[in-house]
A = this chain, B = another copy of it.
Amino acid sequence: MAIKTSPAPLPPYARVKQYLKRELARGRWTPGTLMPSEAELVQRFSVSRMTVNRALRELQSEGLVDRVQGSGTYAAQLHGVSSRLTIRDLHEEIGARGHEHRAVVHLKQAERATAELAHQLGMAEGAKVFHTRIVHLDNGVPLQCEDRYVNPACAPGYLGVDFEQTTPTNYLRTVAPTWEAHYAIEASPPTAEEARLLGIRRDEACLVIVRRTESRGVGITLARLVHPGSRYLIEGHFKP
């Protein structure tokens, strides 16, 4: 009996994908070029059309090819480095590093929404909003100042939560399980208050993430996350 040394004899659809990826990487089809049709690949690999179709559909969802019904499959333009960016819950992020996370609540109250804020959350001006300001510490070092406004309609119990035990992100996740988010990443100086809470100079560059989440068109929360530039960065990796 033969000994199986091959660890995993790639399934057919994966072999087709691999072939196409390799040839794309070699520049065999420059961006915009017509690539082999499903029928051609069916013949070349002696597999069924569904198998080829799966390979091509996956390449499309990975952004490597464009498919046009009635026309053909084309090598995609490489728009740039595109990768999965994950903005994780800071508590998990710190935990993943094996550090201790601690949160200090500096503000927790109900307020009246300003015109700008009301617009962002899709509420009426002057309506009640919840406001928290929390500093997150990584092994005792301030890593993030989290200024957050929450729509009371979505999380009536928000002010009653102990945010030294759980994070707002975590809590809101249980209230509104799935949402849509818009975010911006920018570099800017901290406000005087933020500088004080983070223990940094007012002219230290900060990495600021502003994130607005909504569910079914209703604004849930608007958060401003300020990180000292000297202590925080976002890393990522891209593989075609």
* Stretch from A73-81, A121-129, A137-145, A157-165 contacting the other chain: A73-81
Q: State whether B80 touches A89 (Cβ < 8 A).
A: yes
- A35-43, A109-117, A203-211 - the one binding chain B: A203-211
Report B-chain residues with C-beta under 8 Å of the C-beta of A58.
61
Question: Chain A, 158-187, contact with B by CB distance < 8 Å: what is the 0/1 string?
Answer: 000000000001000100011111111111
> Whole-angstrom distance from the CB of A143 to the nearest CB of chain B?
13
Q: How many identical chains are in the complex?
A: 2
Assuming the contacts A187-B229, A234-B186, asked whether A240 and B180 have C-beta atoms less than 8 A apart, the reply is: yes
Cβ A237 vs Cβ B182 within 8 A: yes
CB distance from A194 to the nearest CB of B (A): 13
Contact A239/B180 with A185-B185, A185-B233, A233-B186 known, Cβ cut-off 8 Å: yes
B205 touches A188 (CB 8 A): yes
Chain B nearest CB, measured from A8 CB (Å): 13
Q: Are the CB atoms of B26 and A183 closer together than 8 Å?
A: no
Residues 200-240 of A, flagged 1 when their CB comes within 8 A of B and 0 if not, give: 00010111100101010000000000010110111111111
Which residues 86-130 in A have Cβ within 8 Å of B in the complex? 86-89, 92
Q: Kindly state whether residue A70 has any CB partner on chain B within 8 Å.
A: no
Set of chain B residues within 8 Å of A169, measured between Cβ atoms: 80
Q: Is residue A192 within 8 Å, beta carbon to beta carbon, of the partner chain? A: no
Least Cβ–Cβ distance between A230 and chain B, in angstroms: 8
Chain B residues whose C-beta falls within 8 Å of the C-beta of A208 in the assembled complex? 187
Task: Say which size band chain A's interface belongs to.
Answer: 35 or more
A240 touches B178 (CB 8 A): yes
Q: How far is the CB of A220 from chain B (nearest CB, A)?
A: 12
Q: Which of A61, A88, A92, A188 has the most chain B CB within a 10 Å cutoff?
A: A188
Chain A residues engaging chain B, CB cutoff 8 angstroms: 21, 24-27, 30, 50, 58, 61, 78-89, 92, 169, 173, 177-189, 203, 205-208, 211, 213, 215, 227, 229-230, 232-240
The 6 lowest CB-CB distance pairs between A and B, nearest first, are: A85-B85, A187-B229, A205-B205, A80-B88, A187-B187, A186-B233
